[in-house]
Chain A
Amino acid sequence: MDSVFQRIYENHHQDLFQFLFYMVNNRETAEDLVQEVYIRVYKSFEQFEGKSSEKTWLYSIARNTAIDHFRKQKSWKQRLLENFDWSKNEIKDEQPLPEEFLMEKEELRFVYESLDHCTVDQKTVIILRYIQDLSITETASVLGWTESKVKTTQHRALKNLKKIINEQSEKGGVRIEKI
């Protein structure tokens, strides 16, 4: 087995898999995409200059892989008619709730589902910052943004999420108390 594969698998595989899972909300898709990440790594390994850490470099490949996946999901017609902007558009997810969440508290399920009302960029920042536990600096490196852009996007994402959760709560769908 290849040494590059061995190292990445041991050090980063589960983190990358979890990141992709939360991005696409589907285990099978995440399995395919994490494999695609390795293939892209092999193709561009010599381009990795060590300017960023291996971890953030791998996350940036995983993020691009997920975005390409979303792009493929959009129909040809949609693609021809619009120039899709990932900072403005939401992912309308129609996936059933993954089985990992069936046993979770209703409030947590609701928080998970609220992510899909965010834009792709907002969702990415939330997953990287709060689920994957990356710092602002690391997140900026993954996304190729400035730190202030990360902070702004994070702020907007939280505002957006708060609005959605509180609206839902007022509708009486889910009672959000202290989680």
Chain B
Amino acid sequence: MKRYEISDHEIQEAFKMLPKITDNRDKEEIFRNITRSSIKRKKTIRWMPAAASIAAIILFSILASSYILPDHSADEKRSSSQELAGEVKKLDTSEGAEQETIDDSDKQDQNSTTENNSGETEEASEEQKPADKEGTTEESSETVPEKKDDGVSKAASLSSSLAFSSDTGKQSYITLAVPDKQIQYIVPITFETEKVEKQELLNELLDKMNTINEEDLGLMDFYPLNLSIALGKEEGTINIDFTDKNDLNNLYEFGLKTALEDTFRYQGFHKITFSTEGKPGVELPESGMVPEMTIEQTPKRSYLIYQAEESKPKFLVPNINAAGQTIEEAIKEMQNFQPVNSASPSIPGDMKIDKVAEQSGRLTITLSKETPLKDDESSLLAIEAILLTAKDFGLSAVLFENPGLSSIGPYDLTKDLEMPAAPNKIQ
């Protein structure tokens, strides 16, 4: 018996009957994976590296070990920090004119503990006493001097997450801006350091890029970057050299530019110059040829609360999606913001603000007498978000009228509050 032979038409029909295959993952997950892999591939090492790359790695290890070793001698570091006190003053002033007006010999004392970052490794200076998970161990040296005079002990249970610049050179900060997993927000994370000299601070920053565990914070695994970062020729500039542009794409470009701008703004730089293998400029997929980027010192952004998930720390983040408004509008947005993508309003809805006024660089927030501030975390975060927003608008002081409390956390609400240097201090 002759077997039936399949025809062309039947084969075609058979293929049309094959099951429909669908990707069952949700859109957000796919987008997250794409973003992550497009950034992670910057870290892949090619198997045919030029001899120069190997030499660079060896050189880097020598350099890295040379500044890790002196860490064993804290005393030595301290004395050298003090000697370099003059240097840090110079650096601090470049962070913004507002800081010049509020120099106060006791400013160094405002280095209070942070409350949200229990998971971080300890890198604090010796002065920093270990804080418990709620950040409740607040030493007198960590509060503003005015508060000490009040003797308000209750306020000590709330601690600030903001870094304030020091004018003694004993302590300084580095800030690393890390994108969240959706690249919707860029979260500036601040670390204390005893380094004060610019090159040392940059080395510390590059080191932190290698060691930071972003995922512990609920953020994108973004660092280290496959870029060479060095101090620029001009004062206040930083140069970024692209050696491998193969993986640059629009998505990566956006996250990279925003993160670099925010990182170096808090470091006190005003311009980023770009180069490609030493030659000026870089060809970016979206912007085209970019020789340099001026860092806007007063980007006029409002600050919101960002928390990736309940088990992760809360951060104060600039709303990079809405800028260029007035300070009044910014404050309003901080209260009326519709929670989305892990971001939420930084000013509680029940905190009634009667008036927002700005005069000669000083912002006055008049609160309603009917709704006195509560001595709690959300009020503290609201005050800190307002301080950061005022700093982003180039203001130099904030005064709260009718606060209903004489102080909260380390802040004396009866006086002008100074501008912080950087947000989200973790240890």
Residue positions of A touching B, CB distance < 8 A: 1-2, 4-5, 9, 13-14, 17-18, 21-22, 27, 30-31, 34-36, 38-39, 42-43, 45-46, 100-101, 104, 107-108, 111-112, 126, 130-131, 133, 158, 161-162, 165-166, 169-170, 176-179
Contact = CB atoms under 8 A, between A and B. Distances in A.
A5 B18 contact: no
Contact of A130 (B5, B16, B20, B37): B16
Contacts of A111: 11, 14-15, 18
A39 B38 contact: yes
Given A9-B30, A34-B30, A45-B285, 10 more contacts: A1-B31, A2-B250, A17-B23, A39-B38, A104-B18, A104-B19, A111-B18, A130-B15, A158-B8, A169-B3
A165 B22 CA distance: 27
A126 B252 CA distance: 36
A107 B4 CA distance: 14
A155 B64 CA distance: 63
Contacts of B248: 43
Contacts of A107: 14
Contacts of A100: 19, 21
Interface residues of B, number: 36
29 contacts: A2-B250, A5-B31, A9-B31, A13-B30, A17-B21, A22-B18, A27-B21, A30-B21, A31-B25, A34-B23, A35-B30, A38-B34, A39-B38, A42-B251, A42-B252, A43-B249, A45-B250, A100-B21, A104-B19, A108-B14, A108-B18, A111-B15, A111-B18, A112-B18, A162-B6, A165-B6, A165-B11, A170-B3, A179-B14
Nearest to A38: B34
A32 to B, nearest CB: 8
A42 B249 contact: yes
A101 B37 contact: no
A43 B12 CA distance: 36
A35 B37 contact: yes
B149 interface: no
A9 B250 CA distance: 17
B17 interface: yes
B18 A131 contact: yes
B264 to A, nearest CB: 25
Q: A interface, by DSSP: helix, strand, loop or mixed?
A: helix
6 closest residue pairs by CB, A with B: A130-B15, A42-B249, A17-B23, A111-B14, A43-B249, A18-B21
A166 B6 contact: yes
A179 B5 CA distance: 12
Contact of A39 (B7, B17, B20, B37): B37
Contacts of A30: 21, 23
Contacts of A162: 5-8, 11
A43 to B, nearest CB: 4
Contacts of B23: 13-14, 17, 30-31, 34
Nearest to B17: A108
B154 to A, nearest CB: 44
Given A4-B250, A9-B27, A39 B22 contact: no
Interface string B117-129: 0000000000000
A18 B37 contact: no
B13 interface: yes
B21 A21 contact: yes
B220 to A, nearest CB: 14
Interface string B280-311: 00000100000000000000000000000000
B33 interface: yes
